[in-house]
Amino acid sequence: MSASASQTIKPAGNPQRQPLRRLLLFLKRVKKQYILILMCLPALTAIVIFNYAPMYGVQIAFKEYKVALGIWGSPWVGLKHFKAFFSNPFALRTVKNTVVLGIYYFLWGFPAPILLALLINEIYRNKFKRLVQTVTYLPYFISTVVIVGMLRNFTTIDGGLINQIITYFGGEPINFFGKPEWFRTMYIASGIWKGVGWGTIIFLAALSGVNMELYDAAAIDGANRWQRVRNIAIPAIMPTISILMILNIGGILGSDFEKILLMYSEANYSTADTISTYVYREGINGGWGTGGTPRYSYTAAVGLMMSAVSFVFVYAANRISRKISDISLW
């Protein structure tokens, strides 16, 4: 073998030392960025304690959990609780109500902050823009209990503002909370009113990063406001829209339990009873009156099923978004 050939061939490193080198490089990066790591440590600790540690108890969905026996001591029952849920005559109704309510809220509630952000971005007077932002943000800080109380006062038959308007134009008063067909409208409308202003923050932040020279160049070329919004503003926030859309699709089954619990009654069960309220009524509240103890395993099984379906929604939306626009969560 020639001398030049022997010089080009380098002996391979010791494979046993590769993990040690990776560890040393990792420790150097930790030492270099230890301040940032210490800042993130409280948040990471909270996530581990409140999000990952409770996953240990998911196994009770497949057991007949007894408090006295504990998680490990309780006997395994397999898919008994899942079968019990689907064999319940109200299961189909609750699943349908949850999905329909989630889809309706997504179709109406998701575009609302996008449209509001685009409209606010077109306001040139800063004082008026700040006023609009403040007015639209304020409802977000109102308690859900207060929101439902306001709804009841506005829609009551005796002196309610909405019914007064209806009777003024010759209509008959409507018992909104007593009619199942009005529940979804009130739930979605009040939810949009409360959260639309807060939802615009992310989109306004994305719009603030658009170079103003693009708007000036488009105006010089003769583009009107709608053309500038369509060709500059909307493409600028499209990555943000895609990411938030994926996250919102995953939350279709996650209805506002507190709000529904305050709004629903036996009169509107047919449209208001969702999986979350059903689990509360049958698995926890109903358990005290029937078996003497709450049905923890039953509620855990239904909750696990909802989480699994939500994960499938997120995964499918992420795959579709990645194929269509190359924008995805992972």
Q: Splitting the chain (330 residues) into consecutive groups of 10 residues, what average pLDDT does each group show?
A: 48 63 85 88 92 88 86 88 86 88 92 93 88 91 92 87 89 88 92 92 89 86 87 89 88 84 85 85 60 73 87 87 79
Residue 5, pLDDT score: 47
Residues 85 and 51 in one domain: no
pTM of the model: 0.79
| Structural domain contains residue 330 | no
Residues 57 and 86 in one domain: no
SS (H, E, C) 69-103: CHHHHCCECCCHHHHHHHHCCCHHHHHHHHHHHHH
| Structural domain contains residue 4 | no
Q: How many domains does the chain have?
A: 2
Residues 57 and 75 in one domain: no
Residue 288, pLDDT score: 46
Residues 27 and 105 in one domain: no
| Structural domain contains residue 6 | no
Residue 293, pLDDT score: 61
Q: Taking the chain, what is the end-to-end CA distance rounded to the nearest angstrom?
A: 50
Using CA atoms of 193, 194, 197, 200 in order, give the dihedral in degrees to the nearest 10: -100
Residues 33 and 180 in one domain: no
Residues 28 and 74 in one domain: no
Residues 244 and 150 in one domain: yes
Residues 44 and 192 in one domain: no
Residue 290, pLDDT score: 47
Domain CATH code at residue 265: 1.10.3720.10
Residue 49, pLDDT score: 93
d(CA 251, CA 128): 34
Residues 105 and 193 in one domain: yes
d(CA 62, CA 311): 20
**Residue 251 lies in domain:** 70-325
Q: Which two tokens stand for residue 35?
A: 């301040």
| Structural domain contains residue 41 | yes
| Structural domain contains residue 11 | no
Sign for the CA dihedral angle at 59, 63, 68, 69 comes to negative
Residue 1, pLDDT score: 46
Residues 274 and 142 in one domain: yes
Residues 45 and 109 in one domain: no
